[in-house]
Amino acid sequence: MARVFSAVDIEDPDILRRIKEVRKTMNLGFKPVRREKMHITFQFFEDLNEEELGKVRQAVENINVEPFETEVKGVNVFPSQDYIRVVWAGVEENKFTRLYKQVCSHTVNSDNSHEFKPHITFLRVNRMSKEEKRKVQRMLREYQSHSFGSFKVNNVKLFQSKTGSNGSRYRELYRKEL
């Protein structure tokens, strides 16, 4: 059984640098997401057997979408501004809709518990004081339209996630060039 997810990896060094700059201004002792964990996740699977992994891989293999340019823009949070657990940079949603549908065109049930919203997580929050929350809410208004730049989406990857005492480690299982 394997923990697997499908994603677009963020490889553009300028986008990563700009996200890191904004992350520094917003980090109030929260847990920053490491560069190798910055991606746009389509689906997450807790325990896939070989047959299920084959079905997910086949769906990715069958993707028929041309590479496209997308903008990383704005900062927001999950699940809400009143209960902040994840701080993320937004990505143009309409450009990912067709790709998302094709990545998910298989019969394996994912462990996603939320609707797809393309984003790049850059901070995780365990707890925050009321003052920290107010500060983050002010920064969200400041960065709501902030552009991190554009990058070309030219592949989709399947990653295996292995958890350990130092957190999770990702290993690329498969790459589909668009």
Q: How much is the pLDDT for 78? A: 95
pLDDT class for 167, splitting at 50, 70, 90?
confident
Q: Round to whole Å and give the CA distance between 154 and 158.
A: 14
Mean pLDDT of 156-163: 94
If we measure between CA atoms, which residue out of 127, 117, 66, 158 comes closest to residue 136? 127
Domain boundaries, the chain: 2-177
pLDDT class for 37, splitting at 50, 70, 90?
very high
Q: How much is the pLDDT for 1? A: 76
Q: Where do we find the tokens 């002010």?
A: 138
Residue 21 has phi, psi (to 5 degrees) of -60, -45
Mean pLDDT of 40-60: 95
Instruction: Say if residue 163 is exposed, middle or buried (CB neighbours under 10 Å; 0-12, 13-18, 19+).
Output: exposed
Q: How much is the pLDDT for 12? A: 96
Write the single-letter amino acid at 150.
S
Q: What is this structure's pTM? A: 0.93
Topology of 2-177 in CATH? Cyclic Phosphodiesterase; Chain: A, (3.90.1140)
Reported as a single tens digit per residue, the pLDDT across 56-90 is 999 999 999 999 999 999 999 999 999 999 999 99
